């Protein structure tokens, strides 16, 4: 086998960050090579360097054995490298054909030779299993098909080294299957495919070889048939995987939260959304709420937070909060990690320091009298970033620029900065990388030791069992079982959730 591309000892610094530190990757012809690592590990940066979008500070790039120095993507394209971007860069109001040839139009004299282009595209599409109608407008295509157009565009320019940066992030499972078939087709035709991902099950399905990067450096190169997903994950984070577990009991005498017969009637009549929910939660205790999604967990959270009207009563540290607004409850010390972080907890196009203010507009450190204390807010943002390991250049960074895991660590940190006596955590680690997941579990454990009470809602049964002192199962709006996590397996919990046990 021959080596299609080799990156040697690539280093790249940005102000305040070393994105790549001695990264080496060797990709053979006719293989799918995965590049894996946690968010922020430097995967996109090193691929942008290979594609001529960024210049390395040091290191070498060899294409087909020859050293290259790309000044821009055109140089890389000329060397046979193509990049399928994470965010598609197609012109919506042009046809598939026009998009594919844009920038590399085959000419016939001074005019564009559309017939030749169409013929070539149809042939390529058939050859690689990327069938598509060349005359349809791109705006009419779904995400999977747009990706296909991106791939064809790259192939049309003569690429034989293809870079895919997290191509599955935007796809539904059926589209993932189609993409993987296409990747296999490309491999069979002798292309070198570089596949960036942090979804390890996908990597093991499609890749021949895997390079693992951690904090900007290559830490391993392995054949995918020789490793398990867990081993890859441990290479990614650099230690044994954190396990969701709380040790011993930290439960105190004091009752932090008490619900009595809390119900929310359905707007349209019929069965209550939640029905006669009663439970008590002590300081230093975690109660896990298990249930198949849509069985009232979201409504329970809304009742506790004051986001919805309910009947029955809720007491917080011995006093009724039924008449209190959302903001009043928050001020009293009830914190929330909401389910949908991008919609409910962040202003994606604002800097972190402005996001620091969100939901915390009252009192210190944000407000000085009636004005926002910008200096103190920025300082507090910096503190949160340090304490909760939010990896981003600084408080001015836009929330949208952070990885999902770093966004979530920021949200958790912001909520914990008020030292709430009660934290309602709705799917706190859903969709975050294993490093961030472990960090968030750590935060919850430490706060529990200091007496914080936690209502934990999660679809991750191991997380529920590991982190909870007590489990309540919700089914059709009611609590149908109480289980001891120390004596419950995920299988048993799963069947309790469906009402089978
Ligand atoms: N243009 C840039 N300016 C400043 N910092 C950047 C830039 N691009 C990436 N970074 C930083 O470099 C690090 C690696 O980022 P990236 O290569 O995007 O990681 P990955 O793709 O593995 O998630 C991160 O800390 C990121 O914030
Ligand atoms: Mg990336």
Q: Is the peptide bond before 365 cis (omega within 30 degrees of 0)?
A: yes
**Using CA atoms, how far apart are residues 21 and 34, in angstroms rounded to an integer?**
19
By the CB criterion, residues less than 5 angstroms from ion ligand 2 are 44
Q: What is the pLDDT of residues 130-145, one digit of tens each?
A: 889 999 999 999 888 9
Ligand 1 pocket, Cβ-based, cut-off 6 angstroms = 14, 17, 19, 37, 39-45, 391-393, 403
CATH code linked to domain 242-333+420-501: 3.40.50.300
In terms of Cα–Cα distance, which of 304, 309, 321, 297 is closest to 266?
309
Residue 124 token pair: 């390529």
- Please determine, for residue 456, whether its predicted confidence score (pLDDT) is greater than 80: yes
For residue 475, report the distance from its CA to the centre of ligand 2, in Å.
39
**Using CA atoms, how far apart are residues 339 and 411, in angstroms rounded to an integer?**
11
Name the closest-CA residue to atom 8, ligand 1.
Answer: 45
Closest approach atom of ligand 1 to CA 213: 22
**Using CA atoms, how far apart are residues 149 and 92, in angstroms rounded to an integer?**
12
Closest approach atom of ligand 1 to CA 41: 22
Residue bearing tokens 């920025």? 378
For residue 19, report the distance from its CA to the centre of ligand 1, in Å.
6
pLDDT at 88: 67
**Using CA atoms, how far apart are residues 95 and 134, in angstroms rounded to an integer?**
7
For residue 37, report the distance from its CA to the centre of ligand 2, in Å.
9
Q: What is the pLDDT of residues 178-200, one digit of tens each?
A: 899 999 999 999 999 999 988 88
Residue 42's alpha-carbon distances to 21, 50, 59, 69, 438, in angstroms, are 9, 13, 15, 20, 20
pLDDT at 162: 97
Determine how many CB atoms are found less than 10 A away from the CB of residue 286: 26
Average pLDDT estimate for 53-70: 97
In terms of Cα–Cα distance, which of 290, 262, 246, 240 is closest to 490?
290
DSSP 275: E
Name the closest-CA residue to atom 16, ligand 1.
Answer: 42
Residue 360's alpha-carbon distances to 291, 372, 431, in angstroms, are 31, 11, 25
Closest approach atom of ligand 1 to CA 47: 17
Closest approach atom of ligand 1 to CA 48: 17
**Using CA atoms, how far apart are residues 363 and 381, in angstroms rounded to an integer?**
15
Ligand nearest to the backbone CA of 48: 1
Residue 274 token pair: 């939640």
Ligand nearest to the backbone CA of 400: 1
- Please determine, for residue 122, whether its predicted confidence score (pLDDT) is greater than 70: yes
192, 28 contact by CB (below 8 A): yes
Backbone CA torsion sign across 491, 497, 500, 501: positive
**Using CA atoms, how far apart are residues 33 and 37, in angstroms rounded to an integer?**
13
> Helices (H) and strands (E) in the chain — how many of each?
17, 24
pTM above 0.75, yes or no: no
The reply to whether domains 3-237 and 242-333+420-501 share a CATH topology is: yes
For residue 177, report the distance from its CA to the centre of ligand 2, in Å.
21
Closest approach atom of ligand 1 to CA 43: 22
In terms of Cα–Cα distance, which of 194, 249, 175, 266 is closest to 27?
194
Q: What is the pLDDT of residues 281-338, one digit of tens each?
A: 999 999 999 999 899 999 999 999 999 999 999 999 999 999 999 999 999 999 999 9
Report helix, strand or coil for 352. helix
DSSP 424: E
Residue 498's alpha-carbon distances to 135, 270, 287, 463, in angstroms, are 49, 21, 19, 18
For residue 47, report the distance from its CA to the centre of ligand 1, in Å.
11
Domain-wise residue ranges, the chain: 3-237, 242-333+420-501, 343-419
For residue 102, report the distance from its CA to the centre of ligand 2, in Å.
26
Q: What is the pLDDT of residues 223-249, one digit of tens each?
A: 999 998 878 988 998 877 778 888 789
For residue 44, report the distance from its CA to the centre of ligand 2, in Å.
4
* Domain 3-237, CATH homologous superfamily name and number: P-loop containing nucleotide triphosphate hydrolases (3.40.50.300)
């Amino acid at each position: 086998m021959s080596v299609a591309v080799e990156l040697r000892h690539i280093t790249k610094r940005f102000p305040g960050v070393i994105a790549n530190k001695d990264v080496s990757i060797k990709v053979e012809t006719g293989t799918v090579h995965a590049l894996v690592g946690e968010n922020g590990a430097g995967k996109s940066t090193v691929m942008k360097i290979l594609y001529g979008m960024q210049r390395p500070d040091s290191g070498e790039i060899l294409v087909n054995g020859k050293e290259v120095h790309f000044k821009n993507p055109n140089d890389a394209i000329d060397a046979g490298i193509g990049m399928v971007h994470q965010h598609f860069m197609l012109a919506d109001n042009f046809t598939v054909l026009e998009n594919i040839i844009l920038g590399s139009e085959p000419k016939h004299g001074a005019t564009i030779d559309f017939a030749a282009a169409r013929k070539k595209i149809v042939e390529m599409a058939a050859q690689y299993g990327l069938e598509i109608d060349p005359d349809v407008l791109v705006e009419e295509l779904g995400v999977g098909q747009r990706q296909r157009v991106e791939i064809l565009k790259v192939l049309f320019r003569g690429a034989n080294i293809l870079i895919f940066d997290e191509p599955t992030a935007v796809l539904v499972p059926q589209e993932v299957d189609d993409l993987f078939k296409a990747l296999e087709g490309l491999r069979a035709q002798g292309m070198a495919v570089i596949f960036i991902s942090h979804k390890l099950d996908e990597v093991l399905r499609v890749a021949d070889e895997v390079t693992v990067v951690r904090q900007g450096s290559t830490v391993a190169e392995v054949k995918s048939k020789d490793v398990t997903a867990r081993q890859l994950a441990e290479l990614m984070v650099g230690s044994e995987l954190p396990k969701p577990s709380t040790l011993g009991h930290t439960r105190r005498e004091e009752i932090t939260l008490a619900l009595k017969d809390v119900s929310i009637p359905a707007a349209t009549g019929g069965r209550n959304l939640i029905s006669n929910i009663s439970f008590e939660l002590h300081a230093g205790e975690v109660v896990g709420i298990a249930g198949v999604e849509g069985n009232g967990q979201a409504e329970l959270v809304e009742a506790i937070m004051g986001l919805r009207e309910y009947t029955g009563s809720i007491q917080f540290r011995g006093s009724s909060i039924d008449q209190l607004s959302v903001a009043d409850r928050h001020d009293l010390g009830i914190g929330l990690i909401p389910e949908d972080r991008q919609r409910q907890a962040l202003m994606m196009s604002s800097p972190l320091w402005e996001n620091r203010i969100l939901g915390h507009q009252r009192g210190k450190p944000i407000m000085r009298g009636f004005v926002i204390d910008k200096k103190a807010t920025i300082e507090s943002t910096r503190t949160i970033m340090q304490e909760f390991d939010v990896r981003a250049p600084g408080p001015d960074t836009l929330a949208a620029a952070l990885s999902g895991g770093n966004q979530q660590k920021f949200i958790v940190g912001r909520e914990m900065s008020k030292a709430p006596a009660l934290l309602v955590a709705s799917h706190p680690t859903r969709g975050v990388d294993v490093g961030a997941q472990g960090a968030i579990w750590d935060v919850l454990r430490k706060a529990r030791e200091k007496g914080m009470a936690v209502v934990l809602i999660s679809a991750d049964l191991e997380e529920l069992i590991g982190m909870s002192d007590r489990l309540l199962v919700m089914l059709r709006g009611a609590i149908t079982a109480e289980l001891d996590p120390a004596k419950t397996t995920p299988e048993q919990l799963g069947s309790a959730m469906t009402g089978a046990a």
